[in-house]
Structure 1
Amino acid sequence: MNPNNNTQNNKIKVDSYLEMFKKVKDKGEGAFIPFVVAGDPDFETSLQIVKKLVESGADSLEIGFTFSDPVADGPTVQNADIRASNTGMTTKKGFEFIKRVREFTGIPIGLLVYYNLIYKMGIDEFYKNASEVGVNGVLAADLPPEEAQDAVKTARKYGVDPIFIAAQTTSNERLKQIADMCSGFLYVVSVMGVTGARSEVKTSTVELVERMRSHTDIPICVGFGISKPEHVTEVIEAGADGAIVGSALINVIAENLDDYESIKTKIGNSCSNLKEATRN
């Protein structure tokens, strides 16, 4: 089943990344893509948080599945994984979570996972499940393109976009290899290191976006360290098609675990401000 079609259990049309980026571009904006971990702080509250993100202007969603050794993530996301895991979240429940999200939105959904989750479930079963619940794309953060042939082939079999990371150390030759395997969008890492909110966007990030834009027509989204509206504006002005923000939003969850209503209100306000920055 192709996720660009309607899911089996509802009538909501699921937009492809291509459709989403075109809509955003036609409005003269960049795409805002928030990241949260499914099941943080618990299944039902996490669903409400995602719904608030959608209502507050998210153009697409990045959803993480909890994993014991998230090597690309800093303490903020690590703690979110722990909170989700402690409430019983698994890969199977993660797909149930996406199925529930598809009851109220058709914007693109990407999964940010680690390859062991795919391998353990079985490559074919993982991508089949992803397609059936309406996932648009999958990024396995620790899967290099040199070892991704089976995953890419299976993703395409089920109509799921394989998404890859490019970094400041990525050579032009390797960038071409990544671009040839990638669809949906290219995830550009803005920092050398793990996920986490930073105080500023490095000049090298702007230069990286410009360099990658000259080598590929695939939409470019910048993540890792993007935490403030001014960061979003800066990467969009540099030529990125979208900005991905995770740790800054997850911090809101972590800081308000005693008041779930405040989590939703504050995350909604943050999302609205970050989306507004794509219009400047």
Structure 2
Amino acid sequence: MSNIAIALVTTGLLGLISALSPTRQICNIPDHQHNGWVLLLTMIFMFIIGYLGYIWMLIDRDIGSLELIVATIFCGGGAFVFVISRMSKETIFKLQQTVHEKHYQAHHDPLTNLANRHQFYDELDKLIDDEHHIFSCLMMDLNDFKMVNDTLGHAEGDHVLQVVAERIRRSLPKGGIAARLGGDEFTVVLPDTKIAEAVEVAKIIQQALSEDIQCENHALVVGISVGIAEYPKHGPDKKSIMKHADVAMYKAKATDRGYRVYSRDID
């Protein structure tokens, strides 16, 4: 009887010890009922001490039905805490992953995985909220992209957009943020970057897009027109900066110059 009781309590003790790891992982999740889970972790440590004390009490002692019943309860309690802690950890982590995926989907373009329009606006707002911040905004539009869709189909057009997005992403300096606003329109924001540096980035992007893109049995070269505006030099807010970069882009497209910096005389 004594060995059976000790085995039951030991099983429960192992359950408590196994519950420590998942409970500690939950405690490390920021802002997730932190105090409650820390309290539970503390209680598990206290239970472990109690279980050890009960095992010590059972050694070299005549065991009756009452001690055996208590040992069974201890076994079930330890197993219960283990199961609850494991299930809670799995549920919480899955919920966090779902929330992260939903957040990512809400802020990124599903085709290119670049930031979407809403995320780009948020990034501009953050930069503008910093009164001492300067940045450059590049508005970009592919040249004759409609011809790609009409000739090769939308599936190949999507492939071209994905390749273009990846080349733009690779061309950016550290801290640069690329976004797809829709269709074949892309934009880039370059924090702490003035016009001269932004022009160099525009040239790098155009050089990257001068390489062939393989579509079906064709090798395409997709041109891009870039308009550049600097904050706060070319506008005091998000709307004016994007508008002026857009004006410069259309001027670059109309003159086949590849890129154009905004100035009052082209507006």
Shorter-chain TM-score: what band?
under 0.3
Instruction: Give the structure with the larger helix fraction.
Output: 2
> TM-score, with normalisation over the residues of structure 2?
0.22
- Structure with bigger gyration radius: 2
Task: Between the two structures, name the one with larger relative contact order (CA 8 Å, sep ≥ 6).
Answer: 1
Report the TM-score when normalising by structure 1: 0.21
